[in-house]
Structure formats: structure tokens, C-alpha cells
Structure 1
Amino acid sequence: MTNSIQAWRSAIVHSVADPADVGIDASYQYFEDGLLVVENDKIIAVGESKELLPIYQDKADITTVEHGLITAGFVDTHIHYPQTGIIGSYGEQLLDWLNNYTFPAEGEFHDKDYARKVADVFLKELLRNGTTTALVFGTVHKESVDAFFEACETHNLRMICGKVMMDRHAPDFLVDTEESSYQDSKALIEKWHEKGRLHYAVTPRFAPTSTSEQLTQAGELLQEFDHLYLHTHLSENQQECEWVSSLFPESKHYLDVYDQHKLLSERSVFAHGIHLCDDEYHRLHDTGSAIAFCPTSNLFLGSGLFRLNKAEEHKVNVGLGTDVGGGTSFSMLQTISEAYKVIQLQGEKLSPFKSLYLATLGGAKALRLENKIGNLAVGTEADFVILDYHATPLLTFRLDQSKTLDETLFVLMTLGDDRTIARTYSAGKCVHSRDS
């Protein structure tokens, strides 16, 4: 009979704080020969194996990881599951991307069977890339969210999703109404929010595709139910920002549109936030709202460079987002690599420990889930990944030259991809194994 206590012996690293707040050395824990101990779905111990093995060697089923590294499951703070089928589409910036690729693709999601098929592919890709929690866009259709949450239940994943609210400036087959979006969202909230490890996000696509009346209804939903998320886009593209200014002339700036409709809160996550003024950063901080930094899509769609230093200066919570399908990879490792380049282009540096934080604990803090996920602290849920130092011949050769932990992390983040993820665990259960 299998023990309820499982343990993994491996090199282990995880974030414990933001390097911007405490400095790099105090921001992480590393155990060169560590032991991670899990009972059922919770972490009950993590530390040096020489200290923990005497306690658990007779109590736990112990797996020894060869040439690998364990860290927390990755947290993706912005992604569109209905855009899985258009990832890697050529040649557009944001508004043309929506009209030429996104809207036609999303029209198919009125069919729940089709939506479930895509949801299954999407989740397999997330887990294959070590992502165990994501903040996810559905489509305007209720069926899209039902299909997604049903797929998540199969693997007991901690996921957040919402039905798009969109009552203007979109094709007729994709628009809802002020009343239907409220009623459909309410029904989904009552069915799925905080059921198991699932959460609901009120999801207006972005300000231009919702009337003021619909945004008001979104704000009312946030007041009606506890612990709901708000998930939308903010200041991704200069043309978009100009459009918002023309549609909402009474607003001081883009963020103020959402603020006037009571959409800023500690569980509000705004994707992109590239073209922000100081007042917007101040307001994000004051309300506890977060930004999802999406470097891959920002580069692919030509949107601009996110100013991480400004977010840090104003103490705004930031997580990483792949933003598939504008983003070109489900891999958080590849997303980190692109984030490094975005920061380099601004004459600054992104340390591997800050990158690890953004991809794990930073994302969890942006989602207000840091007491449940985001690192390997005792009492948190056992969502973690095993990275393979020998995933490719080049990675093997390059890591043989590595002399420090920060060099090893940086190489993994620069050369790594889905092949680097040997196994992914959710709530203590293996939900992806590369070799099976």
C-alpha cells in the first residue's frame, strides 16, 4: 500500500520574497541536496536531506531525482485558452489581431464539445510546461467556461477563469448584452466560484468592447460575491489607448475608466500595463491591483516594453503572463527569457532570482494566493515541477560549465522549454510526466 507521505530528494530552490524588497540573497531558499515532503496534497517539510531523512525515511515513499531541480509550479497571470488554435499567427498588431484572428476563432466556442476539446489541449500544454495555476480568459459564451472548469476538475487544478463580457465593437456573433452578461456571469459564479480549487474572474475584454453600463454591471458583480477576481486588459497598445481616450473622454486616463466603474481591487489583474502614467501606478498600488507582465506577446504584437522598474518603484504587484495566443509559447521558461530581453532593451538587468519570483511567488501574490501556492513553504499546496538538467544535449553541456546557482537558473531560463519539465505535480499528484 502506498504511503500517504511522499518525498522527493533533489536540489530544491524556491522564492520566499521579492528581491526588490529584501535583496537577492534573502529572496530564496536553496538546498543542494534537499528533501521535499508531501502528505496528501500539502507540503509538510522542506529542507536539507541530511536533516529530514532521519525523520521521514521510514515514513515516506522517497523518490530520488537525478540531475534535476525542484521548484514551485509556475503561475501564469494572463492567458487566453480559446486562442490556442491561433498561436503563431502572422503579422498584426493588437486591434487587427483581434479582428483578423481572435474574433473568428472565438466564435466557435458556442459549441461546448469543441470548447472542451480545446480546453483539454490547452491544459495539457500548460502542465507540459510546468504551469499549475493560470488566470484564464474564456469567450463570451457560458459554454466556454463550463468546458474549461470541467477539464480543470479532472486534474484538481487551482485555476481561475471567466466569461468575456463584450457588448460592443465586436462581431454580432460575439457580443452579449448588459443584462445577459450579468446573468450568465452570475450563474457561472454560483456554479464554479470556490468549488474545489477553482475561482471565477469577472472578465470584461477591455474597455473599448464594453459600454459604461456593462462595466457598471461588472462592478456590481464584484460587490455581490466574495473573493471574485477582475481580469481585463490595460494599456497594451498606443492605438488602443487613443481609442479608449476617445470612447471615455470623461476619464483621466485608461485606468480611470475601470476605476470609475469600481473595478480596482486586491483581486484585480490588468494585463500588460505598458503605457501607464505615474497616477495610474499610484492608483494600482493604492487599490492592491496587479499587472500581468506579458513580454512574449508584447514583442510579438509590437506593443512596447513593460517598465518593471516603475512597477517596483510604486510597489505594484506584478506576475508573468504568457498571453497565448498573442504570446508565442506556453513555456514560462521561454517567457522569462523574453522578459530578460525586454528589460535589457531598457538598459537594465533582470536577475534569475527575480525571474523565478515573477514566475512563481510573484504571480501567486498578484492573485492573492501566496498562502496556498507560489513556493514550497510548509502548509502550502503541493504544486511543484521537476526540471531536468539533461533535457537536451546543449543544456547538459552548458550546465556542466555552470559554477553557481544563479548561473544554473539563468541557463535553464534561457535555454529551457517544455522539454526541461520532467514532471509536473498538482496537489501532490503527478499531472504530467515527459517520459510517459
Structure 2
Amino acid sequence: MRHDDTILTGTVLAFTGSPFNDTPDAAAQVHEAVLIRAGRIHAIGPLDSLTAQTPNAAITRHDGCLISAGFIDAHAHYPQTAIIASWGKRLIDWLNGYTFPEEMRFDNPAYASDIANRYLDLTLSNGTTTVASFCTSHPQSVTAFFDAAQARGLRACAGKTCMDRNAPPALCDTAQSAYDDSAALIARWHGVDRLHYVITPRFAPTSTPEQLIALGALWAEHPTCLMQTHLSEQIEEMAWVQQLFPKARDYLDVYEAHGLLGARGLYGHAIHLTPRETARLADIGAALIHCPTSNTFIGSGLFDMGQHVAKNQTVGLATDTGGGSSFSMLRSMAAAYEIGQLTGTALHPAQLIWLATAGSAQALHLQDHIGTIAPGKEADLVVLDLTSTPAISQRHARANDVWEALFPTIMMGDDRAVRQVYIAGQPTF
């Protein structure tokens, strides 16, 4: 008898492939139960079969619910938690009016800790089990985030945001201090428990060439780290980059020329790419991170999912809190569907939930650990009540298959749909 064996029952959704490369029913399997042992998925299948393997396992029934891999938010700014849903303008106005003043408050470690804990409580309540977050330029903002994630047992990714120009002096570091601070944080946090350090230049306009070179060198020295930044979010931003880097062929070339283009790179937004940039990103195997609620909230533009998946581009999904207007990955899935409709790509429910789980896991190079329910994977799970509101319930009643049953929750669901979240097999509430 193993005292840590637990069986969860419900509609267990497990992906064995990408629904962008195969039909949804070929890419996914539906099971009756999942057996968790020592924080990992041990087996999936019929309840009778799992109970025969482990007759003394504790059984938790989530009948009528969908059990999925936990949601993975591949691009967020936890320091912007308190300013989410602030009346926006355009990107640069939003940064100057809301983001930078709020980020200055993170020189206070107690404030950073308060926001980090609040943020992770909010994301967990929405079914998100892993986040890749920008912090602020203060090293203590990274410590606060990782402390909060470690206390919850989360697999999490984050890094100090580096800026040495075009930002308030109180938020600016230097090329050398960005390198030194980031290197010290890598030594302290990268690979500890379930934590991953991400080298983080905010975006090209707020870093001098010297800082970009320093961070590119740091990445070369620590190739297991991810690197996250922003790319081609708004037209005005792109014009600004052209003014600041007149010799660059395009926005992506700025990063490549300074050692910041690679397969472990995460390029947020990536809306207004040239054909050269699109081809280069696909060739290198870098990840584009789709931030649909942010792209509409700040008026950035429409990400062309169809174009990128046709080129086998790696794409992750994100909330982009707080430019994004919701902590919920369900809302990000719904917005991705709506933007797909506007760009001529009708995304199937299987593709939407895959983007928020397995797709984002691939973008973060964490697919060996999380992202789908399979033996050996870590048991980070979300349990979705597919009848959480009267409106959803009445539509669910007419569903003919699992995808029709799930789609109303994707389009209309919120934290009320999250029945339970498991981190390494342990329930969180």
C-alpha cells in the first residue's frame, strides 16, 4: 500500500500530439481516471483498471468535470497586478502612465512580496499552475516572486527586467549591473526546486546596445536559461526601434545582432512581423507568445495564428497581465478564438486548450515536465466544472462530444469554473 496514491475521476483530457498537426480526436485521448503517485502522473485509464493496480488508493471524484493539465501562462508581468484594467491609451503611454510608476514601488521588498503572493493566489484560483513572468529592475522583485512560487511548490519562470534608457532613472540599471544582477540571480535560483531563471531585457527601446550585448553574452554563458522580451507589439514601437537602431534590417535583427535570438527565446506579441522575421524565427525554433487580451486592450493588433502554425512555428499563449485584462487563461483562450475569427483561422476547442497547456509548455521548453497528462509528468492539474453557470450549463446540456462540452466554458468561463487545482498532486483549495 502507498499512502500517497490518489485516483481522480472525471473526464481526463490527455494530449498525445498537437491538434494543429492532426485531427483533435487523433491528438487527444479521454480517460475516466488518473492515478497520481508521489506528485506525478502514474497511470491513466478506466477506474476499474487503476483501482485494481492500487486497491488502497484514495479516490477523489470530480464527476461531471474535465481534468486537464494545469494552464501555463507564457508571458506575464506580475508587478502589474495592482494596475490591471487601468484605462489605457497606447503602449508607450500605458508604460509611462501606469507601469513605470507602479514598478518603482518594488524597491520595497515587503511590497514586492505582497504583490507576488497576491498574484500567485489569483492565478492559481484561475487554474494557472505555471507562469513565465517579467519582474522589475529590482533584484528583490525576483526574490519575492520565487519565494512565493517556492512556498506553493510551483514550477515557475521569471527574471529581472533590464532597462538602462528611456525609462525613469529610478528603474534604470546599467549594462554592467544588469549582467551582474542577473548572473547573481541565476546562481541563486535557476534550477532550484521547480524554478527557472529567465534573462529579461524588457524590449529593445529600453536597452542600449551595450546592455543588449551584455545580456546576450550572459545568455551564451547560461544556455539552459530562457530569454524573454517583446517584439513588434505596436506600429509606433517598431518605428521607435528603427530610429534607435537605424542599421538594423528590422526589429528582430536588433536582438539577433546582440546575441538575443535563440531557440530558447520567448518573443511576446510578435504581431507585425515581416516575412524575413517570420522565416527567421521559424528557422531558429524560437517561440512566439500570443497575448490576445492585451493585444486588443491596448489596441496593438491581431496575431495571425494561422500563418504561424502553418510554418510549424512554436506558439505559446499568455495573459500578459496587466496589459492583458484578465488573470484567466480561459479568457485568453476565448480572445484567441475571437482574434482567430478575425484573421481567418477558426480555432478548434482542442487547439485552444492545447495552446494553454502543451503548447505553452513547449514554448517554455518544459514539455518533459508539464503540459499534458501522461505517465511520468508532474501532476499539475486543473479541474473544470463544465456547468459552472446557468448560461454555460444550458449550452453544455446540448453537447454531443467533449469538445462541444468544453467550448462554452472556454468562451464564457471564469474562476467559477475552476473546481480544484492540483500542484504536484496536492489540492490547493
* Distance in 2, Cα, partners of 1:347 & 1:374: 27
Contact persistence 1:16–1:361 (CA under 8 A): no
Residue 3 (structure 1) aligns with:
3
Residue 356 (structure 1) aligns with:
353
Query: Which of the numbers 194, 205, 209 marks the counterpart of 2:206?
Result: 209
Q: Secondary structure at the match of 2:166?
A: coil
Query: Which of the numbers 132, 148, 156 marks the counterpart of 1:151?
Result: 148
1:233 partner amino acid: H
* Distance in 2, Cα, partners of 1:246 & 1:391: 51
* Distance in 2, Cα, partners of 1:53 & 1:397: 34
* Distance in 1, Cα, partners of 2:228 & 2:88: 26
After TM superposition, the structure 1 = structure 2 runs for residues 416-427 of structure 1, keeping only pairs within 5 Å, are 416-427=413-424
* Distance in 1, Cα, partners of 2:343 & 2:200: 32
Contact persistence 2:75–2:131 (CA under 8 A): yes
Residue 23 (structure 2) aligns with:
23
User: What is the CA-CA distance between 1:2 and the residue it aligns to?
Assistant: 8.0
Q: Secondary structure at the match of 1:291?
A: strand
1:267 partnered with 2:261: no
Query: Which of the numbers 328, 331, 347 marks the counterpart of 2:325?
Result: 328
Query: Which of the numbers 303, 307, 310 marks the counterpart of 1:306?
Result: 303
* Distance in 1, Cα, partners of 2:378 & 2:427: 13
Structure 1 residues 273-315: Cα deviation after superposition (integer angstroms, max 9, x where no partner) = 0000121111112222101100000000000000111111221
Residue 195 (structure 1) aligns with:
192
* Distance in 2, Cα, partners of 1:135 & 1:200: 9
Residue 42 (structure 1) aligns with:
40
User: What is the CA-CA distance between 1:369 and the residue it aligns to?
Assistant: 0.8
After TM superposition, the structure 1 = structure 2 runs for residues 90-169 of structure 1, keeping only pairs within 5 Å, are 90-169=87-166
The farther-off stretch of 43-52 and 417-426 is 43-52
1:372 partnered with 2:355: no
Q: Secondary structure at the match of 1:249?
A: coil
Structure 1, unaligned stretches of length 5 or more?
Answer: none
2:29 partner amino acid: Q
Q: Calculate the TM-score normalised by the size of structure 1.
A: 0.96
1:87 partner amino acid: I
2:157 partner amino acid: I
* Distance in 2, Cα, partners of 1:406 & 1:66: 17
Structure 1 residues 66-125: Cα deviation after superposition (integer angstroms, max 9, x where no partner) = 321100000101000000011001131111100101000000001111000000000001
Contact persistence 2:51–2:57 (CA under 8 A): no
Residue 50 (structure 2) aligns with:
52
Q: Secondary structure at the match of 1:312?
A: helix
* Distance in 2, Cα, partners of 1:53 & 1:263: 50
2:209 partner amino acid: S
Query: Which of the numbers 59, 62, 75 marks the counterpart of 2:59?
Result: 62
Residue 231 (structure 1) aligns with:
228
Q: Secondary structure at the match of 2:227?
A: strand
Contact persistence 2:6–2:35 (CA under 8 A): yes
The sequence identity of aligned pairs, in percent, is 44
RMSD over equivalenced CA pairs, Å: 1.2
Contact persistence 1:17–1:361 (CA under 8 A): no
Residue 382 (structure 1) aligns with:
379
1:25 partner amino acid: D
1:85 partner amino acid: A
Contact persistence 1:216–1:261 (CA under 8 A): yes
User: What is the CA-CA distance between 1:9 and the residue it aligns to?
Assistant: 1.1
